[in-house]
Chains A and B, each alone.
Chain A
Amino acid sequence: MNWTTAGPEIYYFAASLWFLLATFIGDGFGPREAPPKAAPTLSAAQPPASHRRREHLTALFLASVGVLVCLISTGSQGHLFIRAYRVDLFSQVFKTLISLGLFLIICLCGDMTDIRQRRHHEFYFLLFTCTLALMLLVSADHLLSIYISLEVSSYSLYILVALRKNQGFGLEAGIKYFLIGTFSSAVMLFGMALLYSMSGTTYLDDMARVLPEIIGQPGVVIGLLFTLGGFFFKLAVFPFHLWAPDAYQGAANQVAAYIATASKVAAIAVIVRVLAFAGQGSVYLVHVLAIVSVVSMTLGNLAAIVQKDLKRLLAFSTIAHSGYVLIGILVLSPAGYSGVIYYALAILVMKFTAFMVIVELASDGRNLQIEELAGLHRRSPILALALMVSLFSLAGIPPTIGFTGKFLVFVAAIEKGYVALVIIAMINVVISLYYYLLVIKAAYLLEPAVALPPLGVSMPKKLLAGVSTLVIVAAGIYPSWLIQLARSAAQSLIWTR
Chain B
Amino acid sequence: MHMAHASFPFLSAILLSCVAGMIAIMLIPADNKLLIRRVSAFFSGITLILSLWVFLSYDKGLGGLQFVENVRWIPSLGISYFNAVDGFSVPNLLLTGIVFFTGVLTMWELETRVKEYFALYFLLVTGVFGLFMSMDLFFIFVWYDVSLFPMYLLIAVWGTTRKEYGAMKLTLYLLAGSALILPAIIYIYAVSGLHTFSFVSLMQPGLLSPNAQKFAFLLLFLGFGILAGVWPLHTWSPVGHVAAPTGVSMVHAGVLMKIGAFGVLRVAIMLCPVGWIYWAKLMAVLAAIGIIYGALVGLRQIDLKYVIGYSSVSHMGVVGLGLSTVTVEGLNGAVFQMFAHGIMTALLFSSVGYIYDRTHTKLIPELGGLSRIMPVASAFFIVAALAGMGVPGLANFWGELVVFVAAFRTYPLLGIVAVVALVVTSLFMLRVVQRTFYGPENERFAKLPDVSPAQGIPRIILAAVLLFVGLYPSFLFDVIQTASVPFMSGLPR
Q: Please tell me if B108 contacts chain A, counting CB pairs below 8 Å.
A: no
Q: Please tell me if A95 contacts chain B, counting CB pairs below 8 Å.
A: no
Q: Do B149 and A441 have beta carbons less than 8 Å apart?
A: no
What chain B residues lie within 8 Å of A426 (beta carbons)? 178-180, 182-183
Tell me the complex Cα distance, A444–B164, Å.
12
What 0/1 pattern do residues 425 to 458 of A give for CB contact below 8 A with B?
Answer: 0110110011001001100110000000000000
CB contacts under 8 Å to A, within B61-96, are: 73-77
- With A433-B175, A434-B168: A440-B142 Cβ-Cβ less than 8 Å: no
- Closest approach, in angstroms, between the C-beta of B82 and any C-beta of chain A? 15
| From A377, A429, A484, contact of B175 by CB (8 A) | A429
What chain A residues lie within 8 Å of B175 (beta carbons)? 429-430, 433
* Most chain A beta-carbon contacts within 10 A, residue among B153, B164, B171: B153
- With A398-B146, A411-B189, A483-B77: A429-B156 Cβ-Cβ less than 8 Å: no
What chain A residues lie within 8 Å of B142 (beta carbons)? 398-399, 403
Looking at A105-113, A356-364, A414-422, the stretch in contact with chain B turns out to be: A414-422
Q: Please tell me if B285 contacts chain A, counting CB pairs below 8 Å.
A: no
CB contacts under 8 Å to A, within B159-179, are: 164, 168, 171-172, 175-176, 178-179
Q: Please tell me if A410 contacts chain B, counting CB pairs below 8 Å.
A: yes
What chain B residues lie within 8 Å of A434 (beta carbons)? 168, 172
Q: Do B172 and A415 have beta carbons less than 8 Å apart?
A: no
What chain B residues lie within 8 Å of A399 (beta carbons)? 142, 146
What chain B residues lie within 8 Å of A398 (beta carbons)? 141-142, 145-146
What chain A residues lie within 8 Å of B190 (beta carbons)? 411, 414-415
What chain B residues lie within 8 Å of A411 (beta carbons)? 77, 186, 189-190
Tell me the complex Cα distance, A415–B191, Å.
8
What chain B residues lie within 8 Å of A484 (beta carbons)? 76
Q: Please tell me if B472 contacts chain A, counting CB pairs below 8 Å.
A: no
What chain A residues lie within 8 Å of B53 (beta carbons)? none
Q: How large is the interface on B (under 10, 10 to 19, 20 to 34, 35 or more residues)?
A: 20 to 34
Q: Please tell me if A479 contacts chain B, counting CB pairs below 8 Å.
A: yes
Q: Please tell me if A120 contacts chain B, counting CB pairs below 8 Å.
A: no
Tell me the complex Cα distance, A363–B16, Å.
40
Tell me the complex Cα distance, A36–B171, Å.
53
What chain A residues lie within 8 Å of B146 (beta carbons)? 398-399
Q: Please tell me if B187 contacts chain A, counting CB pairs below 8 Å.
A: yes
Tell me the complex Cα distance, A415–B189, Å.
9
How many A residues touch B, CB cutoff 8 Å?
A: 32
What chain B residues lie within 8 Å of A407 (beta carbons)? 138, 182, 186
Tell me the complex Cα distance, A297–B7, Å.
49
Q: Please tell me if A43 contacts chain B, counting CB pairs below 8 Å.
A: no
Q: Do B145 and A480 have beta carbons less than 8 Å apart?
A: no
22 pairs of residues in contact across A and B, judged by CB atoms under 8 Å = A377-B116, A392-B149, A398-B141, A399-B146, A403-B145, A408-B77, A410-B183, A411-B189, A414-B186, A423-B180, A426-B179, A426-B182, A426-B183, A427-B176, A430-B176, A433-B171, A434-B172, A437-B168, A441-B156, A445-B164, A483-B74, A483-B77
Q: Besides the contacts A422-B186, A430-B172, A437-B152, what 5 more A-B pairs have beta carbons closer than 8 Å?
A: A399-B142, A414-B183, A414-B187, A426-B183, A444-B157
